[in-house]
């Protein structure tokens, strides 16, 4: 006989909605924090795509992701409305934030669901990711940074594309 958990129990396993107003940090504070988190999660994992967790991520994911996932999501969510990236280091922060989200969500359905539960509409993170990807392929003049920012846009867009990919894995939130 198969016993099913009551729906209320299953919903209690999902991460709560995040208070986004309390999470906005200046880029100059966010970037070093996320860079350190990424370094610990990545370890010596230099793969281009991360379909599964590597040794360091297995060790550090439970320790770092509860707090730092929220910070990374706030950086990505800010890209949903701020597409001109005029703040110094914004593109690098977006790239690092996307990588942190990827390392925190690989083989972790609870953290993947956090992408959908970040805001009331459930899609500001994904709009931010799509803006980062669109910015990567935009005309240099349309982005305001010219060719100087092209590589930064490409790196951020590549990291965002992997985050879009990992966020599409099956979970109750993806099919609500």
Tell me the pLDDT tens digit for each residue of 120-168: 766 888 889 999 999 888 866 655 555 667 788 889 999 999 888 888 7
Does position 2 have pLDDT exceeding 50, yes or no? no
Tokens of 138: 């935009």
User: Which among 103, 90, 109, 88 is positioned nearest to 15, based on CA atoms?
Assistant: 109
Q: What is the dihedral of CA 46, 49, 54, 58, to 10 degrees?
A: 130
SS3 163: helix
SS3 18: coil
CA atoms within 13 A on the CB side of 85: 31
pTM of the model as a whole? 0.75
């Amino acid at each position: 006989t198969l016993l099913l958990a009551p729906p209320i129990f299953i919903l209690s396993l999902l991460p709560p909605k995040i208070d986004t107003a309390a999470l906005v940090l200046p880029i100059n504070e966010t970037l070093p924090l996320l860079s350190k988190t990424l370094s610990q999660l990545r370890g010596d994992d230099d793969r281009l795509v991360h379909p599964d967790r590597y040794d360091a991520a297995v060790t550090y994911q439970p320790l770092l992701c509860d707090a730092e996932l929220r910070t990374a999501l706030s950086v990505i969510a800010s890209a949903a409305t701020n597409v001109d990236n005029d703040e110094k280091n914004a593109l690098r922060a977006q790239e690092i934030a996307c990588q942190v989200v990827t390392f925190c969500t690989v083989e972790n359905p609870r953290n993947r669901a956090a992408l959908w539960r970040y805001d009331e509409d459930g899609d500001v993170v994904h709009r931010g990711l799509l803006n980062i990807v669109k910015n990567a392929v935009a005309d240099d003049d349309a982005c305001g940074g010219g060719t100087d920012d092209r590589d930064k846009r490409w790196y951020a867009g590549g990291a965002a594309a992997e985050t879009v990919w990992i966020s599409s894995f099956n979970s109750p939130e993806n099919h609500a």
